[in-house]
Chain A
């Protein structure tokens, strides 16, 4: 299995932990990840809030590189994944947009590169059986609230990732590695995304509500697959504590970190030290399970 892996800008900053754990998990499963040379920013929320052609052209600059490689593009950042798929959709359904995008990137591009999320590759290409066989330390007894947020599932007609109201992809992975995926109502709620710096008040309210839902459902941690969700839910617990007195101490981990841990990869190689809220409860549970 060989893919063109698009890390996204946050892989070099706020989501180094996501990047490191993604590569470690891929290696353990025999997946070859090749970075497209000279990949650039997808434009993120700022791009599509500013201009439709700019929003499709920035991803297209990367999609055309992957087209030349002749591989499927794999993305783990939910935001980049969303922008790549949206650009493909816009380019292949609107001829005017296609003309403007091709003019902007200086090449013809038809929107045909297959864009896959890493979780989708794990489920469909690798398969749960292989993943189960790779498990060395079970996550038995760990209650995980799987959180999908917005960008993996919406808009459903473009993303086609999973059920948009009750997705289960992450839950399947958690169960396969021995964890308990809990039933809760916050799966596809919004964390406030890109408003983290501009409207911190809104983000604090939204993350407080999500963390509250996970806590009342009995979660030990929340598993995510989006750097913006991770940062907002992890970093804003300090602000929530200051403003409301509620101290969740809820670790927010990437699904790839949980997978890596169950494969017996050292927590340091999976970026566990980079989490703001320490995941010591998870590490203790895994250590306990492997001693039993």
Chain B
């Protein structure tokens, strides 16, 4: 395959900020492609982990944040575990997710950021996850109302989904954590 590398102004290059966010050293990548070989979603994505590594190393800019692997990656960590140079490839993908949100890269299939936001919002409010609220918020945002609905009655009957949220968690400390993270301009939650 052909990889097009656009000339990027040094200030737009993602390399340094990704290294800083992930703690990984991109320059030691050997391009052995073990990360791509073991990637469970590599078959479904246009770009694979080794390509991301190479493009970052060659000073790719914001266009890299449009790569589908960023939000299709399941965080299984197979890439990091098998890297012969010990590069935390999965941490690099996490860093790219954060930058994709901050720099408003376009939405990808499935809208994982919306799911993450819905998940974390219920944690912020209740201290523990509250699946029905989380699923409702996600479905409202994506318009995918009908998917999986046929499974709900059985899951409710089997007690696999709770109607009422658990309120036994220490909500005070969780709210403090979210407040502090927002103050530090960290999470976009």
- Decide yes or no whether A108 CB sits under 8 A from chain B: no
Per-residue A-contact encoding for B48-64, CB less than 8 Å = 1, 0 else: 00000000000000000
Of residues A13, A38, A39, A65, which shows the largest number of chain B Cβ atoms within 10 Å of its Cβ? A13
Enumerate chain B residues within 8 angstroms of A58, measured Cβ to Cβ.
Answer: 123, 174, 177
A201-B98 Cα distance, complex, nearest whole Å: 24
Could you say which of B41, B129, B176 contacts A41, with CB atoms under 8 Å apart? B129
Contact B21 A52 (CB under 8 A): yes
Enumerate chain B residues within 8 angstroms of A154, measured Cβ to Cβ.
Answer: 76-78, 80-81
A10-B131 Cα distance, complex, nearest whole Å: 9
Contact B189 A43 (CB under 8 A): no
Give, as a whole number of angstroms, the nearest-CB distance from A171 to chain B. 20
Could you say which of B21, B101, B128, B178 contacts A9, with CB atoms under 8 Å apart? B128
Contact B72 A104 (CB under 8 A): no
Contact A54 B177 (CB under 8 A): yes
Contact A46 B115 (CB under 8 A): yes
Could you say which of A10, A104, A188, A231 contacts B177, with CB atoms under 8 Å apart? A104
A33-B94 Cα distance, complex, nearest whole Å: 34
A96-B131 Cα distance, complex, nearest whole Å: 33
Contact A190 B128 (CB under 8 A): no
Chain A facing B: main interface SS:
helix
Contact B75 A47 (CB under 8 A): no
Contact B80 A41 (CB under 8 A): no
A45-B116 Cα distance, complex, nearest whole Å: 8
Per-residue A-contact encoding for B131-158, CB less than 8 Å = 1, 0 else: 1000100100000000110010011001
Could you say which of B155, B161, B177 contacts A61, with CB atoms under 8 Å apart? B177
Give me 20 A-to-B residue pairs in the complex whose CB atoms sit less than 8 angstroms apart, sorted by A's number.
A13-B160, A14-B131, A37-B170, A40-B171, A41-B123, A41-B129, A41-B169, A45-B75, A46-B115, A46-B119, A46-B120, A52-B98, A54-B186, A105-B173, A154-B78, A164-B81, A190-B76, A193-B76, A194-B75, A198-B115
Given contact pairs A41-B128, A54-B187, A150-B76, a sample of 7 additional A-B residue pairs in the complex whose CB atoms are under 8 Å apart: A44-B129, A49-B75, A52-B94, A58-B123, A58-B177, A104-B176, A199-B72
Q: Return the 10 tightest CB-CB contacts between A and B, nearest first.
A: A38-B170, A190-B76, A51-B187, A198-B110, A154-B77, A46-B116, A46-B119, A150-B76, A9-B129, A104-B180
Q: A-side interface residues toward B, CB under 8 Å?
A: 9-10, 12-14, 16, 37-41, 43-54, 57-58, 61, 65, 94, 100, 103-106, 150, 153-157, 164, 188-190, 192-195, 197-202, 205-206, 231, 235, 238, 273-274, 276
